[in-house]
Structure 1
């Protein structure tokens, strides 16, 4: 990616809320911050901040942010300017944003694909949920991705990072058996030959 890939000065959750609440679209906090919102405490340092929107809303998002923000498509290790009114195909699902005139990245936008009012997990389309059932809301009114879905994104990645394992261990004790079972089932679908987190999940859940 660009030379300033790692130069981040992320917005706070409250700042994201103030910006996105003015845009007439559905959105959610994702990543490690989503898990901390679920836990209602900050468990570790967060070097960036992720938001989620639906693909059908990405042009609306751009229209509302274009005057103040520069936005780039992250694709195959490169950051490519997102041109005004450019419709994004399904292989573009990660947008980086920075304030115009600044060099530090402020937030990322992940674009979700949907079908028949369902969110579709891009790594395996067999895994899906109703859109109305993918999010929760913090006491201060911040929408965020459900923890079991966020952990699927972390565990389903090609590289599981140390912070992903930390997040897993922080969140699992707080998940219901139903959520644990959904996460285990989803990982088993994506990884039919096994996944290192499945044994960990088995130690928490009573559902076979």
Structure 2
């Protein structure tokens, strides 16, 4: 993925960015996106806050949108007929994004042209074949088979330790809430993995105080 953003796009003011929330009011649920993507063989998965709720088996808070992750090279497999993908980055939107724009960004919003509402936020993730590469730390590389879990009814979602690694970057209020609510449900192995991932990516992060001290001492 290029670090140089392409020309063009619509530059949004802070007020316009805030107003976008209303356009997510009719976003899909995890079950709806799973229905729409039935038959897609690419290793896609629900991400972010919804993934943690799927892990816990119930919705624990309101979600302003729905995010899914997919290997960047396999993004064409989820091009749904009748809908448009807009690319977003750094406060800009490229409507009906071209391949050039897609190659230089990683976040894509699926838009219903009939209403102009957004339905799902797609992260096009770096990867090496069937190996996922963490955008925030390229030394972290894991097989998709290890980071994707499924609910009892088959909805794929990112493993909680991967979701919390991403949330550790910003630690917004909702990220803090998700961390505190999820940690008690992790197995010892998941807690150790999360500790390793955060320690490698964000040394000294305050969340490490609530994770296994035995691992921190040997990093």
| Residue 52 (str. 1) matches residue 73 (str. 2) | no
Q: Equivalents in 1 of 2:162, 2:139: separation in Å? A: 14
Q: Equivalents in 2 of 1:206, 1:21: separation in Å? A: 42
Q: Equivalents in 2 of 1:198, 1:48: separation in Å? A: 28
| Residue 68 (str. 1) matches residue 78 (str. 2) | no
TM-score with structure 2 setting the length:
0.83
CA contact (8 A) 1:59 1:85 kept: no
Alignment-derived partner of residue 201 in structure 2:
190
Alignment-derived partner of residue 6 in structure 1:
21
- Number of residues of Structure 1 aligned to a counterpart in Structure 2: 199
Q: CA RMSD in A?
A: 1.9
> Which residue, 94, 108, 127 being the options, matches 2:140?
127
TM-score with structure 1 setting the length:
0.88
Unaligned segments of structure 2, at least 5 residues? 1-10
CA contact (8 A) 2:34 2:155 kept: yes
Alignment-derived partner of residue 161 in structure 1:
172
> Which residue, 42, 63, 79 being the options, matches 2:93?
79
Q: Equivalents in 1 of 2:147, 2:112: separation in Å? A: 29
Q: Equivalents in 1 of 2:155, 2:129: separation in Å? A: 25
Q: Equivalents in 2 of 1:99, 1:22: separation in Å? A: 21
Unaligned segments of structure 1, at least 5 residues? none
1:55-110 per-residue CA deviation (whole Å, 9 max, x = no partner) reads 12112322xx1x31121111111111244666832x41110112112122111001
Tell me which protein shows more helix as a share of its residues. Answer: 2
Alignment-derived partner of residue 137 in structure 1:
150
